[in-house]
């Protein structure tokens, strides 16, 4: 996958800090980030459609970095945790999405 060739450590380390409330504990930030970037690349209009696609398309789920045997994070994890974060806005600027 193309996204695995890019370095997101700056962004994931900011999201993974212990005092960060952006991502609930127990969720890996990198697949969430990949899914949100893929959402833009695939022209998926909203989070609920993204979560439905991840739930039904196992290749897409795998390409985003999620384990296909484990359940997805809830929709609220995508929408509340990352969409409104300043870190994701910085990422959008850097990638020009």
User: Is the per-residue pLDDT at 20 higher than 60?
Assistant: no
- In tens, the pLDDT along 54-73 reads 999 999 999 999 999 999 98
Output b/e per residue, 58-73; b: 16+ Cβ within 10 A: eebbebbbbeeeeebb
Q: In angstroms, rounded to a whole number, what is the distance separating the alpha carbons of residues 34 and 4?
A: 9
Predicted model pTM: 0.70
């Amino acid at each position: 996958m193309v996204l695995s060739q890019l370095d997101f450590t700056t962004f994931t380390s900011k999201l993974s800090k212990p005092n960060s409330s952006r991502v609930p504990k127990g969720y890996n930030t990198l697949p969430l980030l990949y899914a949100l970037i893929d959402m833009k690349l695939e022209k998926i209009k909203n989070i609920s459609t993204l979560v439905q696609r991840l739930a039904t398309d196992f290749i897409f789920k795998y390409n985003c970095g999620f384990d296909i045997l484990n359940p997805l994070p809830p929709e609220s994890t995508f929408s509340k945790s990352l969409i409104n974060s300043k870190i994701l806005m910085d990422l959008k600027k850097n990638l020009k999405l």
